[in-house]
Amino acid sequence: MSEATEHLEHAEHAHASGNKKLALLIAILALVLAITETLSKSYQTEVILKHQEAANLWAFFQAKSIRGNSAQLAKTQLGLLGDAKDERVRAAIAKLDDTVAHYEDDEKSGEGKKQLAHKARDAEHEAHAYMEKYEKLEMAAGMLQVAIVLASATIITAVGMLAWLSMGIGVVALGFVAMGIVGAV
């Protein structure tokens, strides 16, 4: 009878040791999940900010287009209605030419249509890059949640294969986390 009791105590000790390892696995998975979710939300915020930046730049671009078109229209009207020999008319037309050119390309301020379009496209590109990072981290978060559930189920069911599956999914999730962090912006 003491041999059976000793065997039972040994089995209970092994079971308790296994549960501690599973608890550690769950804790590690939960920690990685928390970090992943925090980074994911940060990237999601960047996506929103970059889209807003691009929208603002495109709105500014449109305003410059309207102003440039208005100046072009004024120049055309002045040319049609004004006396081409009048020095003031020629000076006004030259000034409107400069204004139209300024709205098209202004490297000094960086606020010409050419520069604004470039900045807006860059912001859109950055938003897209952050979205890719966000999506990878969201995928990783989902996998980590499944891994935690499987590790927890291992404790209840004592099916060791679930623990191995949990670890495997956790490793794949870490790969997605790495891709999300390292991805280009």
Q: What are 77-129's pLDDT values in tens digits?
A: 888 887 778 888 889 999 999 999 999 999 899 999 999 999 999 999 999 99
Spatial distance between the Cα atoms of 95 and 92, rounded to a whole number of angstroms: 5
**Residue whose C-alpha is closest to residue 63's, from 120, 116, 108, 110:** 116
Residue ranges of the domains in the chain?
A: 22-182
Instruction: Measure the CA angle with vertex 31, ends 29 and 34; round to 5°.
Output: 110
Spatial distance between the Cα atoms of 120 and 110, rounded to a whole number of angstroms: 12
Is the pLDDT score of 12 beyond 90?
no
Backbone angles phi, psi at 119, to 5 degrees: -65, -40
At residue 4, the pLDDT reads: 57
Task: Give Cα separations from 170 to 17, 23, 26, 27 (angstroms).
Answer: 21, 14, 10, 12
Radius of gyration for the chain, computed over Cα atoms and rounded to the nearest angstrom: 32
Is the pLDDT score of 2 beyond 70?
no
Spatial distance between the Cα atoms of 153 and 147, rounded to a whole number of angstroms: 10
State the chain's mean pLDDT as an integer: 90
At residue 11, the pLDDT reads: 47
Q: How many CA atoms lie within 13 A of 101 on its CB side?
A: 7
Task: Count the residues in the chain.
Answer: 185
Spatial distance between the Cα atoms of 16 and 39, rounded to a whole number of angstroms: 35
* Contacts of 130 by beta carbon, 8 Å cutoff, 6+ apart: 43, 44, 46, 47, 50, 185
